Amino acid sequence: MARRTPEGPPPPLAVQKLRIRYAKRGRLRFSSTRDFARALERALRRSGVPMAFSAGFHPHPKISYANAAPTGTASEAEYFEISVTERVDPEALRLALDGALPPDLDVIEVVQAGPGSLAERLEASVWRLEMRGVDLATLAYAVERFLAVETAEVTRMFKTGAKTFDVRSPVVSMAATGGEDDSCAILQMVVRHTTPSVRPDDILTALHAVTELRPPVPPLVTRLAQGPLLTAAAGVADPLAADKDAVGS
């Protein structure tokens, strides 16, 4: 039997790819990647963005998401890419999308994509955990104990079943600092992206196993940045810097 092909002309070709950084704040930290995808597609339609679509019987907009934060965590550094059929001004697109998305989903930066893969640049994340009900001395002791161990294994349930993996080796740096008052401490850490991904709650599980640390209330978790790993500085670089350089050259 001959293979069927869709009737009509093929969809217009993409002429430009854009890389977009957005923040997930406030109550919207509880939104999932699927929730954001639905909100984004509505915002793209309302903004009149000339989206490129895939071919076939069920065309869909050419949107690619990169390493989304877990549901329940806030983030200042979420990324996705879109392709468009007409050239657009990145800043005008940023303003239009930011105005069309719900409050607390904030478009921070839009750049024209240069060569290379965005996903491959996202090597590590900087996380900030606000530990309410935990004093600085207790958290500092837990950090010291955690950094002293060679491995710290946790078990998490995946679609394929339970899997045990080490969460110590991906932690590039970890530090405890004081919060707004004596009953709150801040845990900040740089975590290398691995497979399976090591989430902040995995590290909290390991901290409890090593030191019995258990915050009385769930920490407020925020991803501050993600990008190429700067090992010496124990931080990350801007993953869009290469795109900005390519446009400026």
Residue 175 included in any domain: yes
Domain residue limits at 220: 122-236
Looking at the structure, do residues 92 and 168 belong to the same domain, yes or no?
A: no
Q: At residue 183, does pLDDT exceed 90?
A: no
Question: Which CATH number goes with the domain that contains 224?
Answer: 3.30.70
Looking at the structure, do residues 137 and 104 belong to the same domain, yes or no?
A: no
Looking at the structure, do residues 46 and 95 belong to the same domain, yes or no?
A: yes
Residue 245 included in any domain: no
**Strand positions, DSSP E, the chain:** 16-24, 63-66, 74-84, 105-112, 124-132, 153-158, 161-166, 171-178, 184-192, 220-227, 229-230, 235-236
Residue 189 included in any domain: yes
Residue 6 included in any domain: no
Determine the pLDDT at residue 249: 55
Determine the pLDDT at residue 37: 94
Looking at the structure, do residues 59 and 164 belong to the same domain, yes or no?
A: no
Q: Which of 62, 84, 113 is the last residue of a domain?
A: 113
Taking residues 54-71, what's their average pLDDT? 89
Q: How far apart are CA 64 and CA 82, in angstroms?
A: 7
Looking at the structure, do residues 76 and 39 belong to the same domain, yes or no?
A: yes
Q: Which of 72, 93, 113 is the last residue of a domain?
A: 113
Domain count, the chain: 2
Give the predicted TM-score (pTM) of the model: 0.92
Looking at the structure, do residues 96 and 126 belong to the same domain, yes or no?
A: no
Looking at the structure, do residues 132 and 180 belong to the same domain, yes or no?
A: yes
Looking at the structure, do residues 130 and 100 belong to the same domain, yes or no?
A: no
Looking at the structure, do residues 104 and 149 belong to the same domain, yes or no?
A: no
Residue 146 included in any domain: yes
Q: Which of 113, 143, 176 is the last residue of a domain?
A: 113
Residue 195 included in any domain: yes
How large is the C-alpha radius of gyration of the chain?
21
Looking at the structure, do residues 78 and 52 belong to the same domain, yes or no?
A: yes
Looking at the structure, do residues 106 and 62 belong to the same domain, yes or no?
A: yes
Looking at the structure, do residues 104 and 156 belong to the same domain, yes or no?
A: no
pLDDT over 70 percentage in the chain:
95
Q: Which two tokens stand for residue 205?
A: 């599980």
Query: Mind listing the pLDDT tens digit for each residue in 88-144?
Result: 999 999 999 999 999 999 999 999 999 999 999 999 999 999 999 999 999 999 999
